[in-house]
A and B are shown apart, each in its own frame.
Chain A
Amino acid sequence: MTDIDLGATVTASQPGSGVSRETFASKGNAFELRGVTVSYGGKPAVVDIDMDIPNQAITAFIGPSGCGKSTLIRCLNRMNDLIPSARVDGQVLYHGEDIYDPRIDPVEVRKRIGMVFQKPNPFPKSIYDNIAFGPRILGMKGDMDEIVERALRGGALWDEVKDRLHDNAFGLSGGQQQRLCIARCLAVEPDVILMDEPCSALDPISTGKIEDLMLELKERYSIVIVTHNMQQAARVSDMTAFLIVKLDGDEQHRQGRLVEYDVTEKIFTNPADPRTEDYVTGKVG
């Protein structure tokens, strides 16, 4: 940037459509990360992350392999608890509450903050039972048929499966299985959906359906997505965080760090950091 005075500025012609961080401020934050460092076996994998993830918006994590995107998203619903050597320092505040507080039940955390993985992972059960599984375990009240239908409609799958609800879920296509996993996630009435590369195993049509679904879901849910597909981040997300890998002092250990976090339009039209620029334009891998 330069400090040369270039004359009159035409505000209406600035890049983007006027969406700014303030656009999301009125919705409040789903998460506030304060100095979050995640370590495996004492070695930090992502270091000192500070960011606010807005409500009812899609936030994308992008960055090269090994930058800690998946580690970071997994610490948002305590999935890293399942790895014995994992440790999370700093604070992950969810609607103001630290989800790592000893008084917090991790099962309740994962009920409110659902997760969809890279590879669709339906249970070896019927479509119906896949959806009903979570509500039954949690003892949710209400008509189970209605819960299943509502979840499948939410996952944009109802019309395709309503006549074969008791068929095995493995008979669905990959894209349908992934939407089933999203519907399964919705069935327990979460607040946030975390998606770790949800489309990387899908063809473009299925990917398009999942992306359409994400845009519908963000009206009611907060979504965080990890993606290697930058065009996907550009297409669907409202906010984008770019992480990089840094080697620590002895150059033996790789650490992920947050480089830039901003409105997606800004990241893809005029990023502030040259490292972001090099990554999104494909100059570095």
Chain B
Amino acid sequence: MATGVRVQYQEELARLEERALDGLDLVAAQLERAIEAVEQRDSELAELVVANDDVLDGRYLEIHQSILTLLATQAPVATDLRLISALLHVMKNMERMGDQCVNVAKLIPLVGHDPPADERILRDISTMGARVKTQVAQAKRAFAARDLELARDLVREDDVVDDLNKEIFHIAIEIGDDHDRREWAMTMILVARAIERIGDNSVDIGEQVAFVVTGLFREFQDASRPAERLA
């Protein structure tokens, strides 16, 4: 409960943040279903993931409109302004994460009911899915608690996911001459890539935590200067 003056505004801002961060729970649920659909070759579950993306898009539009209203009516400044700016980024990332879940889901019908699957690739995708789901939850916790160390730790998690993504790529390259098996493996590369991007989006949310807390935007991972990245 906000105290002092402008109580309604403070409560509205807190409610807005809660609704925005709850959107990440929706992403986690979508990701879990998408991975299960890959593991079970379940096209119906995949269709559900595609249909459910409307819920995420609706949340994005709802928060976006609320932010516009708050900007227009309350003229937020200082930490409030940084929070609102960060929430816009969080929502954009959430919406992109939802789209990546849809990308995974749309690939499932392409591989058929009984594809010539490679167990190592399937195992890596399951592991990636579980780890990225944890990353999404961690990004939410870090934002809600304004916890910089937890936000920074997302990079370490993301490194593991990146390694799994590369591993899948290498297994796929050497999967053999069978056409169907190669086609399946190529599709799994796309699945892995989509999951890996969700991990990147989680790191982006972590960077917004740093912006809200410090007022400085810092890239945790600098692709142009990888040597400077901290372990």
Are A and B interaction partners?
yes
Q: Interface residues, chain A, CB within 8 Å of chain B? A: 1-2, 4-10, 13-15, 230-231, 234, 268-271, 276-278, 280-285
Choose among A4, A8, A10, A271 the residue with the greatest number of B CB atoms under 10 Å from its CB: A8
Q: Closest CB of chain A to B154's CB: distance in Å? A: 12
Check A8 against B225 for contact (C-beta < 8 Å): yes
Measured CB to CB, the residues of B under 8 A from A are 4-6, 9-10, 75-82, 148-149, 152, 155, 210, 213-222, 225, 228-230
- For A15, the chain B residues whose CB sits under 8 A away are 82, 215-216
Residue of B whose beta carbon sits closest to that of A272: B215
Asked if residues B219 and A270 are in contact (CB atoms below 8 Å), the reply is: no
Contact B228 A8 (CB under 8 A): yes
Which residues of chain B come closer than 8 Å to A283, judged between CB atoms? Answer: 4-6, 10
Specify the chain A residue showing the minimal Cβ separation from B214: A1
Give the CA-CA distance A269 to B228 in the complex, in Å. 29
Chain A residues, Cβ within 8 Å of B4: 278, 283-284
Chain B nearest Cβ from A267, distance in angstroms:
8
Query: Once the chains bind, are B228 and A7 in contact (CB under 8 Å)?
Result: yes
- In the assembled complex, the CB of B54 is this many whole angstroms from the nearest CB of chain A, namely 33
Contact A6 B78 (CB under 8 A): no
Asked whether, in the complex, the Cβ of B219 is within 8 Å of the Cβ of A2, the reply is no
How far in angstroms is the closest Cβ of chain B from A249?
Answer: 26
Cβ contact within 8 Å between A281 and B228: no
The CA-CA distance from A280 to B77 in the complex, in Å, is 7
- B148-A282 in contact (CB<8A): no
Contact B77 A7 (CB under 8 A): no
Would A8 and B215 count as touching, CB distance under 8 A? no
Q: Is B5's CB under 8 angstroms from A284's CB? A: yes
Q: Contact check, B219 vs A7: say whether CB atoms are below 8 A apart.
A: yes
| Residues of chain B contacted by A8 (CB below 8 angstroms) | 218-219, 222, 225, 228-229
Residues of B within 8 A of A10 (CB): 217-219
Q: Which residue of B lies closest to A5 (CB)?
A: B230
Which B residue sits closest to A279, measured CB to CB?
B78
A269 touches B77 (CB 8 A): yes
CB pairs A–B below 8 angstroms (23 shown): A5-B230, A6-B218, A7-B220, A7-B228, A7-B229, A8-B222, A9-B216, A9-B217, A10-B217, A10-B219, A13-B217, A14-B217, A268-B78, A269-B77, A269-B78, A270-B82, A277-B78, A280-B78, A281-B6, A282-B5, A283-B10, A284-B4, A284-B5
